[in-house]
Amino acid sequence: MSEMQQYVQDVLDLVKKRDPDQVEFQNTVKEVLTTIVPVLEENPKYKAAKLLERMVEPERIVTFRVPWTDDKGEVQVNRGYRVQMNSAIGPYKGGLRFHPSVNLSILKFLAFEQVFKNSLTTLPIGGGKGGSDFDPKGKSDNEVMKFCQSFMTELYRHIGPHVDVPAGDIGVGGREIGFLFGQYKRIRDAYDSAVLTGKGLTYGGSLTRTEATGYGLLYFVKNMLDSKNISLEGKTVVISGAGNVAIYAIQKAQEFGAKVVTCSDSNGYVYDPNGINLDVVKQIKEVERGRIKEYVNRVQGAEYHEGCRGVWTVKCDIALPCATQSEIDLDSAKTLAANGCKVVGEGANMPSTLEAIQYFLDNKILFAPAKAANAGGVAVSALEMSQNSERLSWTFEEVDERLKGIMKNIYENAKKYAEKFGDPDNLVMGSNCAGFVKVAEAMMAQGLV
Ligand code: NDP
């Protein structure tokens, strides 16, 4: 083991010793640190400055009580969090997740990923993540509003346009951002548009923000495929999820001429051999907030299967996981490959386990890692902040063009580092190194903080 490999191992041991139960966080730290050894070898000053030890420790974590009353008048109590991971290159930036599975390990993993993802966008934003174990599913608009108002009544003191700028994530879409923004404005008595992103278009939101993560994923995958002279035209695509990322990934994949045959939610998946009818999915998920199972009652020839993991057994050329973390394990990765899948692009955050990623890399499956491939959402969030500062709104086409340019840059930067360190198709290593270098240099320049 080289000196820098040993350094990385020591830091991984430290992370495990400090928080033995935070498995998701340990996994993401391992995923990043084991791939940046070549950068550490070029820069021994990072080890001397204990840079990795500092990076794995969030600058600040806030947890708080969120009391609210449901429609029956009963008191409910949830737990709220904000993990402010790293502000070396800009204010903390990252989404809020409302889901019963939310805990500190998951939020630290997401915040750690966010630091390097945001760096990759080349925009001046640090990394953070937050949320609550509140489950918006099945709640009335009134209950969601009460919860959001109570959540913001504590969170407001920790955020601000130059401090920390949250956005949406699982369970937090336009409706929730609206309620959160309203309460922030009321408490602060100031119109700080750029305190949250993902806002509605009538109050400071950016055109293309809703579409950005899904579109950005397809732009990234297209760049990767173009470099191999492979076209998306006529390819069969399997997508998981039926939320914000999945819906706009389906839309752009279809625009590029691919045939998307699946989508899913946490109960099961839909297989439509004729290609997913996106209008039906949008009606069920965006308007009715229903279950994806409904799809088969409205579209002839489609099948519904219980259990979301089954989606990876469907034969395809390209798989785009867009639901949640760890949805592709080693078995699913092997099944995908055995069925002829040649490309995997991650729309969700860390949807593939470490073993699955290694399997894809070892088996020459073209792999677009989340940190790079799903950075379009946060990139357009940063563009939303720019528009708020300018007090101007750009057109859909203008934002979309910038998004395309950003995704191309991210791809080329990841590719550049992958080539530099001798593994040209390893965009996991390439994007981790590219994202890491900028944060590391900014931290070194700012002294021991
Ligand atoms: P949404 O809440 O809009 O949609 C999430 C989708 O995933 C839903 O279909 C949901 O089904 C499904 N899902 C959630 N949890 C699970 C689970 N445990 N097992 C199976 N399916 C599940 O979220 P987004 O589309 O915004 O986010 C999806 C992923 O993309 C997340 O990993 C998020 O961190 C990541 N991401 C999102 C960005 C954004 O701009 N929104 C930006 C970058 C990354 P159900 O309705 O049953 O819960």
The CATH number corresponding to 1-57+426-449 among 3.40.710.10, 3.50.50.60, 1.10.285.10, 1.10.760.10 equals 1.10.285.10
Residue 121 has a pLDDT of 96
Instruction: Show the CA angle centred on residue 395, arms to residues 392 and 400, nearest 5°.
Output: 120
**Ligand 1 pocket test, candidate residues 120, 211, 245, 291, most atoms within 8 A of CB:** 245
Picking from 142, 139, 46, 152, the residue whose alpha carbon sits closest to that of residue 100 is 139
In short, whether 346's Cβ falls inside 6 Å of ligand 1 is no
Domain with CATH 3.40.50.720 in the chain: 212-364
Residues in a beta bridge with 344: 319, 367
- What is the edge-to-edge ordering of all strands in the sheet holding 303-306? 262-264, 268-271, 303-306
Under DSSP, is residue 277 helix (H, G, I), strand (E, B) or coil? coil
Amino acid letter, 180: L
- Both tokens of 439, joined, read 């944060």
Contact 86, 127 (CB under 8 A): yes
Residue 255 has a pLDDT of 98
Residue 67 has a pLDDT of 98
Domain with CATH 3.40.50.10860 in the chain: 60-195
Residue 188 has a pLDDT of 97
Q: How far is the CA of 168 from the centre of ligand 1 (A)?
A: 10
Residue 147 has a pLDDT of 98
What CATH class is the domain 60-195? alpha beta
Q: pTM value?
A: 0.95
Number of separate helices (H) and strands (E) present in the chain: 18, 13
Which residue among 129, 185, 199, 259 is the active-site one? 129
In short, whether 324's Cβ falls inside 6 Å of ligand 1 is yes
In short, whether 308's Cβ falls inside 6 Å of ligand 1 is yes
pLDDT tens series, the chain, 449 aa: 999 999 999 999 999 999 999 999 999 999 999 999 999 999 999 999 999 999 999 999 999 999 999 999 999 999 999 999 999 999 999 999 999 999 999 999 999 999 999 999 999 999 999 999 999 999 999 999 999 999 999 999 999 999 999 999 999 999 999 999 999 999 999 999 999 999 999 999 999 999 999 999 999 999 999 999 999 999 999 999 999 999 999 999 999 999 999 999 999 999 999 999 999 999 999 999 999 999 999 999 999 999 999 999 999 999 999 999 999 999 999 999 999 999 999 999 999 999 999 999 999 999 999 999 999 999 999 999 999 999 999 999 999 999 999 999 999 999 999 999 999 999 999 999 999 999 999 999 999 99
In short, whether 90's Cβ falls inside 6 Å of ligand 1 is no
Picking from 130, 9, 152, 2, the residue whose alpha carbon sits closest to that of residue 68 is 152
Domain with CATH 1.10.285.10 in the chain: 1-57+426-449
In short, whether 121's Cβ falls inside 6 Å of ligand 1 is no
Instruction: Report the atom number in ligand 1 closest to the C-alpha of 325.
Output: 32
The CATH number corresponding to 212-364 among 3.40.47.40, 1.25.40.10, 3.40.50.720, 3.30.565.10 equals 3.40.50.720
Contact 298, 278 (CB under 8 A): no
Q: Can 16 be counted among the known catalytic residues? A: no
Instruction: Report the atom number in ligand 1 closest to the C-alpha of 99.
Output: 15
